[in-house]
Structure 1
Amino acid sequence: MTTPAPSPDPAVKDRVYRSPMGILGGALLLAIALWLGIDALVIGTGRTPWLALAALILAVPLVSAFTLRPAVYANEERLRIRNPLRVVVLPWGQVASLRSRYSNEVVTASGAKFALWAVPVSLRARKKAARQTAAAERGGSRGGRRGGDRGLGLGLGTPGGGAGADGPVRAETDKVMDELRELLERWEDRASRSDAPSVGEVSVRWAYEVIGPAVAGAVLLVILLAAG
């Protein structure tokens, strides 16, 4: 598949979505790696400093790529996905659907699929949200019965009735997917009118700024281990 040049950044401000837990975990891993690596560089003897240097060159880009780097940028015109090793730019006209199963992914009109690394699915968060929704509904039902006993029959429930007033509780990443679907629906609504914007092309770029250093570190590490 040919990869056209990325389209220029639109003037519309992006919504940015990232994983707070991924960033926190990546920062901790990098701190540990740098602490051990610098310690080996400073006090190591023989081949140890070189092995530590090669391991750092390999590990730091990969850890950063899979934890700190992932992000999703979305606006009224397009969706930009920054995954660990690729950057994908998808005009909304090229997006067929946004799916949430065991991972969140976007499906293009041509059938290609791209995972949203920055918006991971959390089954635990979904179960917690479902429990909160069920508890809010039970509270609303009890409140409705109390209201009926007073002869009002309004079924208003307790103040701030949660799911009864604002709909079911949603996990944070599911809320993000809802916002992205809303942007897609708004584009489709504009596309159905005469002032529809041009569709544009899909752009895929490999993250050579990550791949290059990681490959160099791996090659250096293999050479040092083979020479030993």
Structure 2
Amino acid sequence: MSEQTGYADHTYRSAMGMVGGTLLLALVVLLAADGIANGAGRTRWISLAALVAFVPLIFAFSLRPAVYAGRERLRVRNPFRTITLPWASVEGVRAAYSAEVFAGDGKYQMWAIPVSLRQRKKALRQSRGGGAASANLSGPGAVFAPGMSDTGGYRAQADQAVDEIRVLAERHASDEAAQGAPSVRWAYEIIVPAAVGGAALLALLFLG
């Protein structure tokens, strides 16, 4: 990949989250459609309200999360907000019990990069068996030692992603186009319908 032309974002998403979210969405839509088509009285309205409330939430926590690492910035799309971090504002990235990025006075989780302790334990076993140098592989501030990826050993996906993001931050932090302060945008397209649907569902269930 050229540094001058054809640069593409590094995109990180949770495959398991997307698969699980798709299946759950299909189930909710199927049940709600059945209630709307075949239900009687309030059942149809309850099914409709549940559909409006739960579909945005399922989408938000499973299909929406993504991390885009480009030449100028890191964009973290979490369930209810999108955080845009120019590389110059990124102060640190780590994978502890969750993947986190530090910028300004804030700490932001990266939902799209789940941390698997099982993968870490597997990496630790293989690195010990192969004689690879390793650092602390679990707990707060967990990192992998520089150069470990060159040993051919297995590495946890979250730690690979964090290392790649850290390299990009160091490479582009001084670029003129990568300057600026963090910005946060709330996902009102998720929040508003979920809130409206939830309020309608509660009213139908408890107020009659």
TM-score for both structures, normalised by structure 2: 0.84
**C-alpha displacement of 1:226:** 3.1
* Uncovered stretches (5+) of structure 1, i.e. residues with no partner: 1-10, 139-162
- What amino acid is the match of 2:129? A
Q: Select the residue among 107, 113, 128 that pairs with 2:107.
A: 113
Equivalent of residue 129 in structure 2, options 135, 159, 184: 135
Return the alpha-carbon distance in structure 1 between the equivalents of residues 23 and 42 of structure 2. Answer: 27
Question: What is the match of residue 170 of structure 2?
Answer: 185
Tell me which residue corresponds to 2:141: none
Structure 1 47/164 Cα, relative in aligned 2: closer, same or farther at 3 Å?
closer
Cα distance in structure 2, aligned partners of 1:123 and 1:198: 33
Cα pair distance change 1:28/1:93, threshold 3 Å: same
What corresponds to 2:59 in structure 1? 64
2:25 aligned residue = 30
- Is 1:203 aligned to 2:179, yes or no? no
The within-5 A match list for 1:1-228 is: 12-108=7-103, 110-137=104-131, 166=151, 168-188=153-173, 191=174, 196-197=176-177, 199-228=179-208
Give the letter for the 1:49 counterpart. R
- The two structures have a TM-score, normalised by structure 1, of 0.77
Q: Which runs of 5+ in 2 are unaligned?
A: 1-5, 133-147
Q: What root-mean-square deviation, in Å, do the aligned CA atoms of Structure 1 and Structure 2 show?
A: 2.1
Give the drift of 1:32: 1.1
- Return the alpha-carbon distance in structure 2 between the equivalents of residues 19 and 101 of structure 1: 17
Aligned residue identity for 1:208? Y
With over 3 angstroms needed to count, the CA separation of the structure-2 counterparts of 1:75 and 1:164, relative to structure 1, is closer
Q: In the TM superposition, what is the alpha-carbon distance from 1:166 to its structure 2 partner?
A: 2.1
Q: Are residues 198 and 214 of structure 1, via their aligned partners in 2, closer, same or farther at CA, if it must alter by over 3 Å?
A: closer
Shift of 1:12: 4.6
The count of residues paired between Structure 1 and Structure 2 equals 188
Distance 2:162 2:204 in 1: 46
* Larger-Rg structure: 1
How much has 1:119 moved relative to structure 2? 0.3
Letter in 2 for 1:91: P
AA aligned to 2:97 is: Y
How far does residue 165 in structure 1 lie from its aligned partner after superposition? 6.2
Q: Percent identity?
A: 49
Going from structure 1 to structure 2, the CA distance change for 1:198 and 1:73 (only over 3 Å counts) comes to closer
